């Protein structure tokens, strides 16, 4: 099947080598083509070499001339991270309230100030909104609606339900919407996106070709493409994301000192702490505010910590009591043994005859020896 891991690896390798690759279908190995597929295959065999060259040229021209014009609203750490990959195959611009001219020009991205929002949006095909969730509604509601008609709007928040409702509320009805969550970032994927999950939903898409072209940026980077509704995404990943970031923020540098020899478990904790320390507190607060289970998990974390402290205290008290009891028992046994030995000693002295207690007569021992020597 095309979805098998080996088939996916082969397709990824083919896409790296070929300028254009599209899978039209798949069939079992050592089987025979029949029907329209067989007829199409026979027609392809009759194509001359010249026709093939012409088809190849046209395909290359179509691919090279279809660059997307992508604009990123919010050029923070994650916006910059996305731009570095997007700019390799597309025309990318950005807008941010903070002056990002130096960072943008360094990677070939055009920077706009916030007062140039209309000019920034004018020629774009795709608008990526990369801002904290706590600012999302304010940013979207302030966008000029007249400049968003017919454009593809993409959000990249760690949770999708809240951004989706905001986009549906404020955007014009002819604007396409994709809710996505690239489940990686600058710290977790410095160079390759191979195998990293990209979760998305085509919440409202009229221009499917443009949407597929945008998504192909991530599939060509060998991301693991997972299509889920915003609600399914949040129910399956939002809690795990919040707990991960909560754990990482609890583990600061003082709790995780560097060691010459590191176990896999310790290395995993270091990775979590490094990943979460690179993210802003606004991102974490957004996870807390828009996750209905966040307070429950915080209370559960407190309860687990208190329970662990009680278990440690109980174990420590048990070991101390046991050690004291063993020490007292040892002293008692020693005293009993001493008393028993004294009683045995007294008892043996009372029952021994007086003759046995008198010292032996040395003259009696010497006389046989002298008599034996005289006989010799």
Task: State the distance between the two ends of the chain, measured CA to CA, in whole angstroms.
Answer: 116
pLDDT: which is higher, 211 or 330:
211
Q: Which residue has the tokens 């991530």?
A: 218
pLDDT: which is higher, 86 or 299:
86
Rounded-to-10 torsion of CA 71, 75, 77, 83: 30
- Reported as a single tens digit per residue, the pLDDT across 290-333 is 777 777 878 888 888 888 888 888 888 888 887 877 777 778 88
- CA separation for the pair 18, 63 (Å, rounded): 12
> Residue 176: what pLDDT?
95
- Of the pLDDT bands very low, low, confident and very high (cuts 50, 70, 90), residue 124 is very high
Q: Is the pTM of this model over 0.75?
A: no
Any idea what DSSP says for residue 358? S
> Residue 63: what pLDDT?
41
Mean pLDDT score across all residues of the chain = 79
- CA separation for the pair 294, 246 (Å, rounded): 10
Is residue 281 scored above 90 in pLDDT?
Answer: no
Q: Output the six-digit token pair for 70.
A: 């992508």
Report how far Cα 146 is from the mean position of its chain's Cα atoms: 39
Is residue 57 scored above 50 in pLDDT?
Answer: no
Q: Percent of the chain at pLDDT above 70? A: 78
Are 183 and 159 a contacting pair, CB within 8 Å? no
Is residue 110 scored above 90 in pLDDT?
Answer: yes
Span 126-143, average pLDDT: 91
Q: Output the six-digit token pair for 342.
A: 């004294």
Is residue 193 scored above 60 in pLDDT?
Answer: yes
> Residue 256: what pLDDT?
72
> Residue 56: what pLDDT?
44
Span 324-343, average pLDDT: 80
CB count within 10 Å of CB 210 equals 18
Is residue 369 scored above 80 in pLDDT?
Answer: no
> Residue 364: what pLDDT?
52
pLDDT: which is higher, 190 or 63:
190
> Residue 164: what pLDDT?
92
Give the CA angle between residues 74, 78, 84 to the nearest 5°: 100
């Amino acid at each position: 099947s095309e979805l098998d891991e080996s088939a996916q690896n082969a397709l990824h390798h083919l896409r790296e080598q070929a300028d254009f690759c599209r899978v039209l279908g798949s069939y079992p190995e050592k089987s025979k083509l029949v029907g329209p597929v067989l007829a199409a295959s026979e027609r392809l065999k009759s194509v001359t070499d010249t026709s093939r060259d012409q088809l190849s040229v046209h395909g290359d021209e179509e691919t090279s001339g279809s660059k997307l014009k992508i604009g990123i609203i919010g050029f923070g750490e994650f916006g910059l991270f996305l731009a570095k990959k997007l700019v390799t195959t597309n025309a990318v611009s950005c807008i941010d309230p903070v002056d990002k001219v130096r960072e943008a020009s360094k990677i070939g991205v055009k920077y706009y100030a916030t007062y140039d929002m209309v000019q920034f949006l004018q020629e774009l095909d795709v608008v990526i909104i990369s801002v904290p969730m706590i600012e999302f509604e304010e940013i979207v509601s302030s966008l000029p609606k007249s400049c968003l008609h017919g454009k593809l709007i993409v959000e990249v928040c760690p949770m999708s339900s809240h951004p989706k409702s905001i986009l549906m509320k404020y955007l014009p009805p002819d604007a396409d919407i994709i809710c996505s969550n690239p489940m990686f970032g600058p710290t977790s994927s410095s160079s390759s996106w191979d195998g990293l999950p990209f979760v998305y939903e085509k919440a409202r898409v009229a221009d499917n070709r443009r949407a597929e072209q945008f998504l192909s940026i991530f599939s060509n980077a060998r991301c693991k493409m997972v299509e889920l509704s915003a609600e399914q995404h949040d129910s399956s990943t939002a809690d795990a994301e919040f707990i991960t970031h909560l754990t990482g923020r609890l583990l600061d540098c003082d709790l995780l000192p560097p060691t010459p020899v590191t176990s896999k478990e310790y290395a995993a904790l270091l990775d979590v702490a490094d990943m979460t320390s690179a993210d802003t507190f606004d991102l974490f607060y957004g996870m807390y505010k828009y996750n209905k289970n966040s307070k429950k998990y915080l209370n559960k974390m407190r309860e687990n910590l208190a329970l662990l402290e009680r278990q440690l205290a109980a174990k420590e008290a048990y070991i101390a009591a046991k050690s004291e009891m063993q020490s007292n028992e040892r002293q008692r046994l020693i005293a009993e043994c001493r008393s028993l030995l004294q009683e045995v000693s007294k008892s043996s002295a009372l029952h021994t005859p007086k003759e046995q207690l008198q010292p032996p007569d040395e003259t009696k021992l010497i006389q046989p020896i002298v008599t034996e020597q005289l006989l010799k």
